[in-house]
Structure 1
Amino acid sequence: MPNALLYAIATLIWGSTWLAITFQYGSVPASASVAYRFLLAGLLLLGWCKLRGERLQLSRTEMAWSALQGALMFGVSYMLVYEAEKHIASGLMAVLNSSMVVINLVGMSLVFGRRMDQKSILGAALGILGIALVFWPELTDVRTASAWLGVACGLGAALLASLGNLVAQHNRNQQIPLLPSIGYGMLVGGGIALIFTLIHHQGLVFDTRPSYLASLLYLSIFGSVLAFAAYLTLLGRIGAAKSGYIAVAVPIVALLLSGWFEGFQWRIWTVAGIACAVAGNIIMLLDIAPVLRKLGLTRLAARLV
């Protein structure tokens, strides 16, 4: 499957999960919803792997790395996301989540020795600037202790997710079977959320409303199995730095959906922010050096190679 299609699948699905998550709020504790989502997703994915005849038996080392990836990427980070959205707007959470782009760049440099080229730095900077402009009103509204707690949880979620990306990169480098490792990781992440729910005596409440059941199935099958399979396949091909740029594209999709379904009000900042984010996407993912040379910008083209 082409990289562009993998990128589009992950971006479009995750961009829609912001709306789906809103149907999860209510009588079910957030950690329980995270547990249900990833336990179901893990079982479905491992069942699919068995039908395909993939190797499900991993070595102890492979299982340990898969579990670590799951704990970081599917467990604790998602619980922090749900906690953050109790205190801050989802738009601000999107801004905080986009910091993964920079964290991934730094992490890939420190852990795997990949240099931070000017093209990646410029693309990341434009992307984060674009998201910040889009959600500028929410950024200026962080004043209370509760809001700052939400910011701390959001940044913590982005940091843990980025660490999960680095572990995923390691797992791909070690050629650990992709889909089985994701499946086991989801079971571990869901198990952590389940244990957290029980320890805090929140109760394993389940919501049987059609809206909750539909959102759970969508988040499990599309938001977890399909999107993460596409994303982690892309990560194995182009690295955590470039694939992590999806964190910038996702809020733009979420914004468009919010405009259609939630009446989001567009402003000049919105248009400017989207323009910056799109420019960052183009710089990060496409080879623009030939275009710059044709425009006579040979020095800039040389820097962005």
Structure 2
Amino acid sequence: MAGLVTTLLFLVVCLSWGTTWLGIKIAVESVPPLTSAGLRFLIAFPLFLGFALIRRESIFFPRKNFGFFIFVTLCYFSVPYYLLNYGEQYVASGLTALLFSSMPVFILIFSSIFLREKIFFSQVVGIAIGFGSLFMIIKTQGLHLDYSELFGVIAILIAAVMHALCYVITKQRGAEIGVITFNTLPIGIAGLGLFMTGLALEHPDLASVTQRSWLALTYLGLVASVGGFIVYFFLLKRLSPVILSFVFIIFPVFAVLIGAWYEGTPISRQLILYSMLLLAGFAITKLPIERLLGWGR
């Protein structure tokens, strides 16, 4: 029974994070990207604050980690989520998820630079397969990468790079900080900052926001941000980090299927083939053949 519950929760995380991309796509239909990202976090913040109060955990980072707190607020929450919202104005939700699934590769690269972790040859091959497949997906899906589409793709990849860097720096400098502390105040400040910046620069007409966009923002704030977060860190205590990290390989599959259904676009054989190659390549970076065979000892 415990194994069945763990498996179901694993699928819940994959599904909630897989639907995040469609939620962002619907939200930015009538809400500009800065304002949309800010509203999502402002919706999520009270729940995180409630969890902190219930668990009697501080929402403040240790004083010695103030610089790290600023880094997390800006480089994990504020800038990347604006870039994701901006990119999804021009890029399909399924393709956005596939682009973002490259994040573990950047984690591998940054881990080698900052943590001196070894990169195996098979991981280099996996990176080449993954990014080669990603290029073919972009090419075969009819993206001609005009000005808007090109900057949308670049924005999503930069968000993936920034998240990867933040994960590695957190492992190096913030491992002792609790999960609720790590998320609560940065989400609140990032949400307020993004929303106020959106009001100043985007001048959103909140009265004209569609019901669909409000529902998407509510879903992103309550389910994808808070619910996905709670289940993910519940599983982190019960599963190997390597096994759990395959969430980043599996959720793009959900995202592609759900996005294709919602947007009414057929899933071609080429998309299936290159998506499988992409995810297989990125999976190799997480489970290098040399380590499995004991060659890297």
Please indicate the TM-score interval, normalised by the length of the shorter structure. Answer: 0.7 to 0.9
1: CA distance, partners of 2:29 / 2:10: 32
Query: Kindly tell me: are residues 170 and 225 of structure 1, through their superposed partners in 2, closer, same or farther at Cα, counting changes over 3 Å?
Result: farther
Q: State the 1:31 CA deviation.
A: 1.0
Scaled by the length of structure 2, the TM-score of the pair is 0.79
* Preserved CA contact (<8 Å) 1:249 1:277: no
Structure 1, unaligned stretches of length 5 or more?
Answer: 291-299
Q: In structure 2, what residue type is equivalent to 1:301?
A: L
Structure 1 pair 176–5 and aligned structure 2 pair: CA distance change class (3 A): farther
Cα distance change, pair 152–258 in 1 and its aligned pair in 2 (3 A):
closer
Separation in structure 2 between the aligned mates of residue 113 and residue 37 of structure 1, nearest angstrom: 36
- 1:249 matched to 2:250? The reply is yes
- Match of residue 100 from structure 2: 97
The yes-or-no answer on 1:38 pairing with 2:41 is: yes
**Cα deviation digits, residues 82-134 of structure 1 (max 9, x gap):** 22233444444334323323221111111111112345444444444455444
CA contact (8 A) 1:131 1:248 kept: no
Matched residue SS, 1:227: helix
How far does residue 47 in structure 1 lie from its aligned partner after superposition? 0.8
CA–CA distance in 2 between the matches of 1:278 and 1:88?
19
By how many angstroms is 1:272 displaced? 1.6
Partner of 2:293: 301
Structure with bigger RCO (C-alpha 8 Å, 6+ apart): 2
* Deviation larger for 23-32 or 107-116: 23-32
1:111 aligns with 2:149: no
CA contact (8 A) 2:59 2:180 kept: no
Q: How far apart, CA to CA, are the structure 1 residues paired with 2:32 and 2:92?
A: 18
The superposition leaves residues 161-182 of structure 1 with CA deviations (integer Å, 9 ceiling, x where unpaired) of 2222223323552x11111221
CA distance in 2 between partners of 1:70 and 1:234 (Å)? 24
Q: CA RMSD in A?
A: 3.7
Identical positions, percent:
25
What TM-score, normalized by structure 1, do the two folds share?
Answer: 0.77
Tell whether 2:172 aligns with 1:180: no
What is the Cα deviation at residue 158 of structure 1?
2.1
* Residue 21 to residue 133, structure 1, CA distance change in 2 (3 Å): same
In the TM superposition, residue 289 of structure 1 has moved relative to its aligned partner by 8.1
AA aligned to 2:107 is N
Residues 1:190 and 2:191 are matched in the alignment: yes
Question: Take 2:187 and 2:90, find their aligned partners in 1: how far apart are those partners?
Answer: 26
Structure 2, unaligned runs of 5 or more: none
Number of residue pairs matched by the alignment: 293
* CA shift for structure 1 position 183: 1.1
